[in-house]
Amino acid sequence: MPRGAILDMAFNPIQTEQFVLMTKHDIWIGVSRKVFISERGVIKDTNTYELVVLTVQRKQNAEFGKLTCFTFVRETGQILAGTNRGYALVYGYTSEFNSNVQDTKNIEDMKFVKGLKIQQCRIEIIKNIDGVIVTGNSEGGIHFYDPQLKLLYWVHGFTVDKVTGLSFNVSPRSYQILDPKCNKQCLCWEKVVLKVDPVTGARRQKLMKSKLPSDATVPNKPFVVRDFIVCTKNQGVGFVDFVAENNNTFLDNKISPALAMTVHPEKPYVCVGYADGNLELYNFVRHTLFARLPLRDFYKVVTQPADDSISCLVDVFYPQLSVTCLKYSPNGLHLACGLNTGQLIFLDPTTIEIRTNTPFQDTRFSIKEMSFSPDSLSLAFFDAGRTVCLYKYDCVSLTWHFVAKHRAHYKEVTAVFFLPEKNESGDYKLVSMGADRTMVEYDIGASSEEYLEILSLDRIEQTAIPLAGIPWPSSRDVDPETCRTDMPMILIANDETTMTLSTVLGPRFEQPVRRLQLVTRSDDDDGAQYLLFATKTVVGLQKMPLDGNPWKHIGLLGHPIEVIQMCYREDCGSLFTIGAKDSCMTQWAANYRAIDTTTKQGGTDLDPYYCLIENGRPGWLFHEIRDLFYYIQILCQGTFSPSIRTVKDFIPIETLPDMMRALGFFPSEYEVENLIVEAKYKVYQRQPSTEIDFEEFVKLYLNHRPAFLESARRIKNAFKHFANPIDGAYVMPRDQFINMLSDYGERFPRELSWYLLSILCCHSFEDRSAMYESDFHFLPETINLSELLSNIIGVADYDNLSESYFKGSGSSMRSTSTDSDNYSPQ
């Protein structure tokens, strides 16, 4: 088999069990054939097939160049290959030319015949159609040859920059050539009625001989082939009427990648912005281009020559504009466009004509994301410089004006949006979240003189980074919102108290979810809701409510590199996405039945969660959870109680932290608080609960425990941060280690540190009674990483761990690192 990259492959149209693989230098021909065996001199066939692939040997000639394309010639049984130096290499079963070959011989007989120079440039495509060889080259030329590679015709009615593909009509052309004496379509021409072609079943086309192209032979015969589609590099895709030699472009090709996109909430329009400053409005129902706006041409600067200058040249400067953000308002009356220069313009939502002749220039950085208020009268965006800007619409003058801005985050902003509720000033609440793990609420009513006031600034996470946020539906008494972290978890928080109300396990893919949108099923009478999500490369749906069920979501590969934008239309169930380094827009159709079927297959109660437990229900972990659940009941009833034991389905909520630690999950005090709040109030419950049953506990444990195991690499990196490098090794003095526990993170008092460390160092109760609480001499004077992992934390066989263990076990662990220094929002 070839070792290099396979550039192209195809099956032999004469003998379909044969196929050809092409690399840069060789042609490989293969065949799938049945295996025959001989038993006592009798040949018998079997149900076994073998695959034989052989290379066609030829003497390498640098003058030929590298192979670029190939085709089969039905009439001669040959294979023609084009090269980057304009050569056509001929492969055949015989050295002489044979026409009308009905069947092919063994692949072992295929050999290289010769190479012919037929082009002066690179041959991009070569085809065989109706006994004619067609080539397209890098300079846009389309040439036609006979089977002996004699030139018959070349297209000269139109020109393209570069031919990258040719596709001919599937059906042969049915025609009849007429030669009237008047050489025009007169009345006698209209009276001619042609019969139906028995081969194609279509009525023959009337062609006038004087208006047909003629070939390059001496008889100068009329030359007619099928109509075809030509693909070019920069001029799109066109349909070629061969008789008239007209190239009708029906699909434009954009060299520049798409960077922004938005869909109209009511009309069938989707607007796409490109890196070259072009804006295009499409009708996604008819799949046609409706309008185009080149922003660089609109904002070009023309400098006329001076009056006393002898030069009459005019200087034209085109600004290097790129569309980085687009957004339709909820009522569809406004279309905002953000540029890479920090400029903001407003366009007509149905014609994309510019409404603001002078762009707003209130930031110097590229605009990343925009959000309209529910009443479409306020607009907020954040830029690459971590600044949040606010604009308002004046219903009297029918114009937008700048209100204020603020840089409240010290790291990249990841989300900005309006909540569906208003504050005391009558404005909708504006919230932003950033990679600094803070949520900022702004006081729009108190903002003035271009300064956006901050109403509250709260830390919403300890380690995870919120990557996306959306308003969450709730009752009138609770105003929660949801945010996505860099781990596969979904957090639902209250915007008033910033308390985390629920933590559930989200879709588990190689990358965390970066985009969220809550959608409602339009064809369902009950109004079923789904969570639309997108990771770096995957788009999918998750069925509501969120409970960590791994069977309630499905995902598909959206783009091979990265999904940079997605928009959804609920009324038609269409999703639109664009990807990185891609000029195409993809339209998806939501299949709700697929996710409903998957949810039913998962089962009920705890059945869909067993796949998240090691070895499932029969495994040791599930039995450990059940045993500890009953053991907690024994402890609550009293270990030495003489009364009869009663087995219940509930345990006190206050025992949850101890249960989690007994199962190997050690939550921080912040996580313990969130755990208790979620167990008590269950997101929307007004009266707190005091007990939790077994099923709720299992779900709570699976949703709160780390989705991926901790790696020793993170412990090693954290130790290096505090330790001192000495002779190539990192060590930490004993007093420095104690001070680190007392001064950083969730600080431990020295008495608590002494108590916990003495237990970790295997000191008994009697040993601790004979020691002072301020005496840490049971620890070594200097602590290295080996001492920390082996003797304090208790990692067995630390010295035998391979280096790969410190690099993280598995791709999922590497992709979910919460080191904020390596974070780069998209």
Cis peptide, bond prior to residue 545, ω within 30 of zero: yes
pLDDT band with cut points at 50, 70 and 90 for residue 476 = low
Domain boundary among 662, 684, 704: 704
pLDDT over 70, % of the chain: 90
Q: What is the pLDDT of residue 122?
A: 95
In this structure, what is the dihedral angle of CA atoms 20, 23, 27, 33, given to the nearest 10 degrees?
A: -30
As given in the structure block, the two tokens for residue 622 are: 């599930």
Number of domains in the chain: 4
Q: What is the pLDDT of residue 822?
A: 42
**Do residue 649 and residue 766 come from a single domain?**
no
**Domain-embedded: residue 429:** no
Domain boundary among 662, 679, 704: 704
User: Does residue 281 surpass a pLDDT of 60?
Assistant: yes
**Do residue 87 and residue 7 come from a single domain?**
yes
- Spatial distance between the Cα atoms of 642 and 364, rounded to a whole number of angstroms: 76
Higher pLDDT, 668 or 401: 401
Q: What is the pLDDT of residues 596-635, one digit of tens each?
A: 999 999 999 899 999 999 888 899 999 999 999 988 888 8
**Domain-embedded: residue 617:** yes
pLDDT band with cut points at 50, 70 and 90 for residue 487 = low
The crossing angle, in degrees rounded to 10, of helices 620-637 and 694-704 is 120
**Domain-embedded: residue 93:** yes
Q: What is the pLDDT of residue 174?
A: 76
User: Does residue 100 surpass a pLDDT of 70?
Assistant: no
Write out the DSSP string of 520-577: E-TT-TT--EEEEEE-SSEEEEEESSPS--TTSEEEEE--SS-EEEEEEETTTTEEEE
Q: What is the pLDDT of residue 818?
A: 36
**Domain-embedded: residue 761:** yes
**Domain-embedded: residue 792:** yes
Burial classification of residue 544, based on how many CB atoms lie within 10 Å of its CB (0-12 exposed, 13-18 middle, 19 or more buried): middle
**Do residue 726 and residue 624 come from a single domain?**
no
**Domain-embedded: residue 650:** yes
CB-facing half-sphere around the CA of 343: CA atoms within 13 A: 16
List Cβ neighbours of 802 (8 Å cut-off, separation of 6 or more).
Answer: none
Q: What is the pLDDT of residue 824?
A: 45
**Do residue 679 and residue 783 come from a single domain?**
no
Mean pLDDT is lowest, of 65-69, 237-241, 591-595, 817-821, for 817-821
Contacts 24+ apart (CB under 8 A), 149-154: 149/80, 149/88, 149/90, 149/116, 149/118, 151/118, 151/216, 152/215, 152/216, 152/217, 152/223, 153/213, 153/214, 153/215, 153/216, 153/223
**Do residue 790 and residue 679 come from a single domain?**
no
Higher pLDDT, 818 or 223: 223
Q: What is the pLDDT of residue 711?
A: 61
Longest dimension (CA), the chain: 125
Amino acid at 312: C
662 φ/ψ sector (left φ>0, alpha ψ -120 to 50, else beta): alpha
Domain boundary among 105, 131, 154: 154
Q: What is the pLDDT of residues 310-364, one digit of tens each?
A: 777 888 888 999 999 999 999 999 999 999 999 999 999 999 999 998 999 999 9
**Do residue 593 and residue 607 come from a single domain?**
no
Mean pLDDT is lowest, of 7-11, 256-260, 642-646, for 642-646
**Do residue 12 and residue 94 come from a single domain?**
yes
Q: What is the pLDDT of residues 784-817, one digit of tens each?
A: 888 888 888 776 555 555 444 444 433 333 333 3
**Do residue 617 and residue 571 come from a single domain?**
no
User: What pTM value is reported for the model?
Assistant: 0.77
**Domain-embedded: residue 453:** no
How crowded is residue 545: how many other Cβ atoms within 10 Å of its Cβ?
Answer: 12
pLDDT over 90, % of the chain: 42
Q: What is the pLDDT of residue 132?
A: 93
Q: What is the pLDDT of residue 482?
A: 65
Q: What is the pLDDT of residues 756-784, one digit of tens each?
A: 888 888 877 777 777 887 788 888 888 88
Identify the domain containing residue 583 by its residue range.
517-601
**Do residue 11 and residue 121 come from a single domain?**
yes
**Domain-embedded: residue 801:** yes
Measure the N-to-C terminal CA separation of the chain; round to a whole number of Å: 41
**Do residue 724 and residue 627 come from a single domain?**
no
As given in the structure block, the two tokens for residue 669 are: 């005090």
CATH number at 27 reads: 2.130.10.10
- Spatial distance between the Cα atoms of 806 and 813, rounded to a whole number of angstroms: 11
Contact between 675 and 644 under an 8 Å Cβ cutoff? The reply is no
